[in-house]
Amino acid sequence: MKEQIFVTGIGTEIGKTVCSAILTQHLKADYWKPVQSGDLHATDSMRIYDLLQGDVRIHPERYKLQLAASPHKSALLENTSISLKDFKIPETTNNLVIEGAGGLFVPLSDTCYIIDLIQALTIPVALVIKDYLGCINHSLLSINAIKQRNIDLKYLIFNGGIDTDTERVISLQIPEHTQIIHIPQLETVTAEAVRKITDPFNS
């Protein structure tokens, strides 16, 4: 059975796109970014394509919004309304990596959030964590929300190294089946650096 995974994070700027590239490479998967809000000259889809040197099938975004802001704000300024009914998982015979926008409670509209999209698509999650002051609180809140929605937390990804005490207290809260992945700190994020991480599941 082909694997589908939704990559989300405990916040913004924690490396979801790099982790998505590594997972896409490892799983030989397609990539889909349902909502791109801002940076249309350099989208996450474009970045994935570059990091994997074109060796990937990219599915088009459902929404491409001009303003680099929360999707609900960007959509409002463009007189657009985002509805969960508008999203359909792309058809493919390959594995599929889906990358969200920001964290679980980034609003797509005034009434729905990224976590609602994940729940509507009914696919497992990879939660990306980066080590910073406050990451324990953000991680545990995210894990608790995933549990409350009965979403399958398939992977927990520590991106760029993690303090051992921080990792321990976070890891105690995840389901037994959740697989922990460590992505090493990349000095520069390049196609070569991504290519060298051939098996993140054993790193």
Active site residues: 33
Give the integer Cα–Cα distance in Å for 199 and 20: 13
Give the integer Cα–Cα distance in Å for 86 and 119: 14
* Number of other residues whose CB lies within 10 A of the CB of residue 160: 18
Give the integer Cα–Cα distance in Å for 96 and 148: 25
Give the integer Cα–Cα distance in Å for 107 and 31: 22
Q: Collapsing DSSP states into helix, strand and coil, what is residue 179?
A: strand
Q: Collapsing DSSP states into helix, strand and coil, what is residue 55?
A: coil
* Number of other residues whose CB lies within 10 A of the CB of residue 84: 14
Give the integer Cα–Cα distance in Å for 164 and 161: 9
SS3 assignment for 62-104:
CEEECCCCCHHHHHHHCCCCCCHHHCCCCCCCCCEEEEEEEEC
